[in-house]
Amino acid sequence: MADRTTLTFLLMDAPFENARTTTAFRLLQAAVSRGHDVNVFAYEGAVALPFIRQRGHANPVHGRDAAQEDHPLPRNWVAELLRLAGEQGTKLDWVNCGLCVDERGVDESVEGTRRGSPAEFWKMAASSHNALVIATK
Amino acid sequence: MRVLQIIETAYRATIEEQDDTVVYMTHALHGAGAATSVLLRGNAVNYAVADQDASGLRFGTWRQSEPPRIAADVASLLEKHVDVFAIREDLEERGLREETLIRGIKTVPRGELAGLLERFDRIWHW
Amino acid sequence: MTEYLLIESRDPFESNDLERCCRLAVQLKRAGHDVALFLVQNGVMAVRAGVRTSGLDLALEADVRVLADDFSLRERGIPLASVIAGVRPAPIEVVVERLAAGCKAIWH
């Protein structure tokens, strides 16, 4: 089998704060769907993206209860992309920066994600075909 | 693989983090064996200023014991032989004179940015 | 010759980031490289016909390939007919394609 392309992405934004999060996940979806192996290094606020304690809520302004609102939760996006990669037999390796997790107290993460350090990001990037940093502002 | 870390965002949560987390990342990458260089641009050229002092923060009886020391962290990169560049026009626009900068910072005219980028395999913009 | 992909997510009104990005694109193009500029998020606000000034004309005049994320355009109510000449709507997959092809990609 030919070598699969591996792409690494570094994300920094916390959930619910910036359009970069949605764009980043659109890129991850595109990369996974195309059958690439994908590494994600979640740095700083992005370590909260797979935090399992995110909860949806109702929307009183729109008159929707919690079920109707069906609030997007990035932790579900992470879980779904992991599932998709698993189903395809490709790799999605999601690593949370450990120190960033500690200071934010978000150490309950979607199953299938793991903890690492910037050195891990370097290892991922160095062994990938390409690596894109989507930094926060 | 040679990496250029372009740092543009400045003083983002640096008090809470007690450093700039991209300067920190650069140190970590270097320690992991990466061949990195740094380009300061935009407001981040202020990181080249030698006399930055973020000490003294207090809330009630809480006092920050380890304030960020960004100039020291940048100087430390230079001591590790990491090239640190700064865009000349960005320094000038901010009234930053060369004598106020950390020794060893190399200035690059904006018009030579393309040439600088060509020297690196990966360009990560922060 | 190197392939570059500059991804610009910021609009030309809050800051001069887009203009700076376009100037870099032109610099790279004039140095003989293949350059594409992918506008996404508020970056696509530069491509609506009638925008007064954005710096995008610099890139277009220099033959930089300018693409605009189709989702971001639709999200901001910019119909295809209102996209200025020379800018091509494109799906986000284009970014992944170019990454996979090994281009130097810079997110701004």
Residue-wise pLDDT tens digits, B13-57: 999 999 999 999 999 999 999 999 999 999 999 999 999 999 999
* Predicted local distance difference test score (pLDDT) of residue C54: 75
Contact at CB, B121 and C104, closer than 8 angstroms: yes
Beta bridge partners of A11: A42, A134
**Is B21 in CB contact (< 8 Å) with chain A?**
yes
Parent domain of B39? 2-125
Contact at CB, A43 and B1, closer than 8 angstroms: no
The number of folded domains in chain B is 1
d(CA B10, CA B126): 9
Provide the 3-class DSSP secondary structure of residue A131: strand
Residue B63, domain CATH:
3.40.1260.10
The amino acid that residue B91 corresponds to is L
Residue A100 CA to its chain's centroid (Å): 14
8 A C-beta contact, residue B23 and residue B7: yes
d(CA A68, CA C24): 46
Contact at CB, A118 and B9, closer than 8 angstroms: no
ipTM over 0.85: yes
Nearest to A101 by CA among A24, A20, A42: A42
8 A C-beta contact, residue C65 and residue C35: yes
CATH 3.40.1260.10 fits A6-54+65-134, yes or no: yes
d(CA B115, CA B113): 5
The pair phi, psi for residue B118, each rounded to 5°, is -65, -20
Under the banding of pLDDT at 50, 70 and 90, the label for residue A1 is very low
The pair phi, psi for residue B43, each rounded to 5°, is -65, -20
Percent of chain B with pLDDT over 90: 100
Helix (H) or strand (E) holding B2: strand B2-7
Give every CB contact of residue A50 below 8 A, 6+ residues apart in sequence.
A42, A74, A75, A78, A79, A94, A96, A109, A110, A113
Beta bridge partners of C71: none
- pLDDT surpasses 90 at A68: yes
Helix (H) or strand (E) holding C39: strand C34-39
Contact at CB, C41 and A34, closer than 8 angstroms: no
- State pLDDT tens for residues A105-130: 999 999 999 999 999 999 999 999 99
Q: Please report, for residues A18, C36, C92, the alpha-carbon distance to residue A14 in angstroms, rounded to integers and kept in the order given.
A: 8, 29, 21
- Return the structure tokens found at B17: 């983090």
* Predicted local distance difference test score (pLDDT) of residue A2: 55
Nearest to A99 by CA among B71, B54, B28: B28
Contact at CB, C106 and B123, closer than 8 angstroms: yes
DSSP letter (8 states) at residue B115: H
For chain C, which ranges sit under pLDDT 70? none
Nearest to C92 among A26, A129, A130 (CB): A26
Contact at CB, C40 and A36, closer than 8 angstroms: no
Helix extents (H) in B1-126: 14-17, 21-31, 70-79, 88-93, 113-117
**Is C9 in CB contact (< 8 Å) with chain A?**
yes
- By DSSP bridging, strand B84-87 and strand C65-69 are unpaired
**Residue A114 CB neighbour total at 10 angstroms:** 12
Contacts of A5 in chain C (CB under 8 A): 100
- Residue extents of the structural domains in chain C: 3-107
Chosen for mutation from B123, B124, B126 (greatest number of chain C CBs closer than 10 Å) is B123
Class of CATH domain C3-107: alpha beta
